[in-house]
Each structure stands twice: as C-alpha cells, then as structure tokens.
Amino acid sequence: MILNRLMFHGGFKRLFSSMVIAEHKGDKLASSTLHAITAARQLNQPITTLVAGKNCKNVISEVSKIEGVSKVVHIDNELLDHPLAETLCPAIISVQNKFKFNYLIAAHTASSKNILPRVAALLDVAQISDVMAIKDSDTFVRSIYAGNAIATVKSLDSVKVVTIRPSSFAPSKSVTGQKVEIEEFKFDDIKCSSRWVAEEIIKSDRPELGSAEIVVSGGRGLKNQENFQLMYKLADTIGAAVGASRAAVDAGYAPNDLQVGQTGKIVAPKLYIAVGISGAIQHLAGMKDSKVIVAINKDPDAPIFQVADYGLVGDLFQAVPELIEKLGASKK
Amino acid sequence: FYKYKMKILVGCKRVIDYAVRIRVKPDFSGVETNNVKHSMNPFDELAVEEAVKMKESKHATEVIAVSCGSIKVQEVLRTALAMGADKAVHVDVEDEKLQPLDVAKLFKGIIEKEKPDLVILGKQAIDDDSNQTGQMLSGLMNWSQATFAYKIENIGNKKLQVKREIDGGLETVEIALPAVITTDLRLNTPRYATLPNIMKAKKKIIEKFTPADLNVTISPRLQTLKVEEPPKRQSGKKVANVDELIEKLKNEAKVI
C-alpha cells in the first residue's frame, strides 16, 4: 500500500519490481524457486526472474510458465555453468544496476546462502535471511535462535535482498497463455581466481527433502549405517523423502545432505515420522512446523514426544519393519 | 615441497550457549540475555580449531582471533587464545546494534590493519541465524570465498582446495588467497583448552579498537519490531502399537 502511494504521488513515475533469482541444475528448475516466486507474488510487484547459466533454454521456458512471472532475464555464460559466488554475484549486480529492482528474492538454499549476502554487501544493504512470512512491503518475519523465537523485522534499505524459507510458502504453479517478455542480458566480464573443480551429488529417485509431502527421518537410535537402510525402505513404501538427525549424520549413518535441523534443512511436510530421534532443540528447529508428527522411540521421556501428534514408545527394530509390511500390504 | 604460509584471522562471536533454553522477554523486545550462560558460537570454535591446526601443521604463521561486541566478548577471545590463537582483537561496539553488514565492515577494517591471507568465520551464528557475515566480508574485499567448508587443503601456490557442503552433496572448489572461508559442522572437532593453556592465554595480548578507529559508522538496517515465542504444539497422544498408529494416520490425521 505504501508502495502504491509512492508510485502515484512520486515526482516521476517509478516502476517498483522484484527479481527472483532462479536456481537450477542442468536443464531443470529447482522446486525451491517456485516457493520464492510465491513470496515475490505477495509483494504485488511485477516479477522478473533471472536465469543465469549455460544453455538454459528449458529452464527459461519452464520459468516463464510460472504464474506471476512477467519477464525473464537470462544470461548465457560458460562460467556460470557451475556458478560460484565470485562469478554469479557480479552478474546479478550488473542486472540490478540496469533494472533497479526493489526486491531481490531467492529461496534460502545452500546456493543462495552462498551468493546473496555477497550481493547484498556490494549493494550496501542488509539481507533478510530465511523469511517465513511477508507482513508488508518492508516488514518480514523470520526465526532466530533455532526457531525458538520469531522476530518481526523492518528493513530500512531501499533495495531489499530477501531469502525465503521454502516450506513457509506454497509452490507457484504453471499456467497457460501467460505473456512473458524474455530478454537476453550480455555479461562477459568475469574475472575470477576461484575454480569449480567437482561435485559429488547423491542421486536419488525419492522426492526432494525440502518439498516432500512425507518425510521419514532416522536418528542415533538406528545404531549403524546398515540399519539406516530401514529408513529408505520405509520411505519407498510410502513415497517419502528420507531425513536424518545431526547425530545420525555425525555418526556416519546417513549422508550430510539429509540432515534436518537448524544447521541442515528446514522441512514442513504433511507427515514427519521421526525414528530413533530424541528431539534436540537443533533438530526440532528443522521440523516442528510439520503438519503431523509421529515419533517412534524406546525412551518414553524423549523430548520428541512433546511435539509428536502420535507417539509410539517401543523398539524401532520391531515397529519399523512392521510398518513397512503393513503399509506395503495396504498399498497393493 | 614449498607451501605458502598463511596469516589467519578467525572470527569469534559470543552467543547464548547452544544448550540454553532461551526465553523471550515479556515486552517482546528481544530474548533475555542477562544471567544466561554465554559461550563462543559453535561454528566459530570450528574456525579457531581449523586455524590452530593449520599453524600446527606449519601452513600458518600466526592466528589472530577477532570479536566485535561489548567488553564481555573478551571471554570468548580468551577461549580462542587458550585454544592456540596467538593474539586477539576486540572491536568495542554495543551488542544490540551489531548486524552482519556492519560486522563485515569492521572485519574489513581489521584486515586492512593486519593484512591476513585467510579469514575463517563460522557459517552462521546460532543466535541471529543469518548466515551472511563471511560472504559479505568476502564481497567487500573482492576476495575468493568458500562457504560451508567440510575440508580445507593447502595445495600450494597460494591456493586452497575446499570441499563444501551443498544441497544434494558436496562440491569441491579451488580458491586463490587471500580468501574468506566459513565453517560447517563437520570440518573438525574443536579441542578443549587445557588449564596450562588457559593460564598462558592470560598473558597474550588483546588489542582494542572502536568502529571509529576502523573508519566504520555502525548503521543497523533492520529494525526489530517484535520478538515472540513460536506457536506451541499441542502435545499429542501415545499409541499402543503399529496397527493403532496406522489407523490414526489413515482415519484421524488422514495423511496416508
């Protein structure tokens, strides 16, 4: 509302607008970007999406169908194939210098966490991290102290760099017949002394942890890596993503990108099944906004039972195979 | 073979101890910090440990611990000195006013005085959970950056190879010095300071600066309007067996 007033009463007409920075892998848009677009739509400003990378035709076409996107700016550059903060940041800044967006928005993912604060510092503005709700044009809600307090903050900067918590905003859907302007942006001025060397991505057919409807998560109670396979079996039986507590990751039972918690991923699925997880503050920060929480733990005093809608006190090595068997049978 | 020896700056923030159950103030102005146990931000302990290890393995010549905040931050600087840092720098600022952009500017000021080759910071402070300062500093310096570091190797020729934690797995990058690195939890296991080292740390120097000494004007860009407790979850019910659990999930919660 304040923005609208400014637009009509300002000395000259100024277009307020938002830019969502699309995240993608190869030729596929990351689902987290759909959540970021929803957050941008709440600001009621025209939305431009930036697609930077190498050969991003599919991503550009995918993104231009997403409801609310009115323009796509794309940069095609080999050096942005595996973007580093040192390469993508100057690209974003030069797009920003041309179009003067009021909001730069991205999902709070590992990639944005890496790049956006660098962008914010070079624009001499604050970043508002991991936003859970947008109150109005300059007021945002975010969690602090591992989700144990919720802060409402007002940004005093003219340009707002915002990363949003994907699980707090529904994904935007694709629509047909949307008119979208597509503009190529030339950006070749990359001088960078860093070099991308390699990546080890764990391939999986299971849904993405950050946006899955059901998550089954294992903790230290699984005792070893072999037993942790039980979690994958349970997940496959009910079409869930697999998560893990920090204890399970630190003990080497599960790879670190499965970690749910303050220092891992924040999830809010329809159903979260915590198996052999005690429920430390760190872990609860990552899952306590799930719709329904189930805990399976042999310790009746485990803190996880304080947040669980349904708690089963018992041996997971009996309960989980039984669950797999009975849920598997009922699916057929 | 020859490897370049680095001068390393590490950041240490004093935060409410990770094990403390925090309390929101009744006037919603913030979180109660009086008479609450504080300690070094856990991610910063990893930064200090990594720097000290680099010195022990002769990849570093000097480790300088830096903290911004009230006089109380000198406690965490003493901890860093007891862990093996050579000297410490305290930038005296009101804690409440500190936000990542200003901290990055203060660190830039210290860098200009100390001229380190490498700055290691924690990936985030467990109080504001911002995850910004390292990236901002690297941007302001126009240096290389490697965030969420899982493994750091000095590969010579003023270059480091860093394995980073990313969504979906790990990524390896090669960065040239000078650079900023931020730590992830799996980088190392911080040591405990031994009593003799705590005694020795008392003799080490803590230099003190003000923002004015570093040509920085503190200007918070985010105004906190309100801090509240998160909504409480209703405590649920216990089920007797797997059959009852499945029945509840299907018919009561309707989630499977």
Q: At what angle do helices A110-122 and B100-114 cross, to 10 degrees?
A: 70
pLDDT value of residue A189: 74
> What whole-number percentage of chain B has pLDDT above 70?
99
- pLDDT for B127 beyond 70: yes
Q: How does pLDDT run across A178-204, given as a tens digit for each residue?
A: 999 999 999 987 788 899 999 998 888
Instruction: Please tell me whether the interface predicted TM-score (ipTM) of this complex is above 0.90.
Output: yes
Q: Are strands A181-184 and A271-275 parallel, antiparallel or unpaired?
A: unpaired
pLDDT of residue A332: 53
| C-beta separation of A176 from A64 below 8 A | no
Q: Which residues of chain B are within 8 Å of residue A106 when distances are taken between CB atoms?
A: none
Let me know the angle formed at the C-alpha of B14 by B9 and B16, rounded to the nearest 5 degrees.
150
Phi and psi dihedrals of B4, rounded to 5? -65, 135
B10-26 per-position pLDDT tens digit: 999 999 999 999 999 99
Residue A72 C-alpha from the chain's centroid: 21
CATH numbers and ranges of domains, chain A: 18-184 (3.40.50.620), 214-330 (3.40.50.1220)
In 3D space, the residue among B218, B183, B202, B215 whose CA is nearest the CA of residue B42 turns out to be: B183
Give pLDDT tens digits for B198-219. Answer: 999 999 999 999 999 999 999 9
What is the per-residue pLDDT for A219?
98
Q: Is A280 annotated as a binding residue?
A: yes
Residue A6 has pLDDT above 50, yes or no: no
Q: Does B133 touch chain A (CB under 8 A)?
A: yes
pLDDT tens per residue, range A282-331: 999 999 999 999 999 999 999 999 999 999 999 999 999 999 999 988 76
What pLDDT, on the 0 to 100 scale, is given for residue A14?
Answer: 53
- Calpha distance A304→A2 (Å, rounded): 43
Inform me whether the pLDDT recorded for A5 exceeds 70.
no
Average pLDDT for B96-119? 97
Once rounded to an integer, what is the mean pLDDT over residues B237-253?
A: 96
Region A262-285: mean pLDDT is 95
pLDDT score of B118? 98
Cβ–Cβ gap A246/B185 under 8 Å: yes
Q: How far apart are the C-alpha atoms of B251 and A87, rounded to whole Å?
A: 52
Disruptive mutation site among B147, B222, B232, B237 for chain A (greatest number of A CBs within 10 Å): B222
Q: How far is CA A240 from CA A40, A201, A215, A231, A232, in A?
A: 28, 19, 5, 10, 9
* Class of residue A114 by CB neighbours under 10 A (exposed 0-12, middle 13-18, buried 19+): buried
Residue with token string 């039984």 = A322
| Cross-chain Cβ contact B139/A201 below 8 Å | no
| pLDDT at position B215 | 97
Percent of chain A predicted with pLDDT > 90: 86
- What average pLDDT does range A221-242 have in this prediction? 97
| A328 at B interface, C-beta within 8 A | no
Give the global pTM.
0.94
Is residue A320 marked as binding?
Answer: no
Question: How do strand A69-76 and strand B169-176 relate by DSSP bridges?
Answer: unpaired
Predicted local distance difference test score (pLDDT) of residue A13: 45
Whether residues A257 and B246 touch (CB distance < 8 A) is answered with no
User: In this predicted model, what pLDDT tens digit does every residue of A108-164 receive, in sequence order?
Assistant: 999 999 999 999 999 999 999 999 999 999 999 999 999 999 999 999 999 999 999
Query: What is the mean pLDDT of the segment spanning A49-53?
Result: 97
How many CA atoms, within 13 angstroms, populate the side-chain half-sphere of residue B55? 18
Per the CB < 8 A criterion, the answer to whether B186 and A256 are in contact is yes
Dihedral sign (CA A149, A118, B67, A256): positive
Other Cβ atoms less than 10 A from the Cβ of A141: the count is 19
Check CB contact under 8 Å for B239 and A310. yes
Residue A91 has pLDDT above 70, yes or no: yes
Cis peptide before B178 (omega within 30 of 0): yes
CB A41 within 8 A of CB A47: yes
pLDDT of residue A222 exceeding 70, the answer is: yes
A158 in contact with B, Cβ within 8 Å: no
Task: Tell me what the mean pLDDT of segment B133-162 comes to.
Answer: 97
Q: pLDDT of A238-248, one tens digit each?
A: 999 999 999 99
Interface test with B, best of A28, A89, A111, A113 (most B CBs within 10 A): A113
Which residues numbered 37-66 in A keep a CB inside 8 Å of some CB on B? none
| Per-residue pLDDT reduced to its tens digit, B65-91 | 999 999 999 999 999 999 999 999 999
Contact B145 A147 (CB under 8 A): no
A245 marked ligand binding residue: yes
- The pLDDT, as a whole number, for residue A15 is 65
Nearest C-alpha neighbor of A141 from the set B30, B95, B225: B225
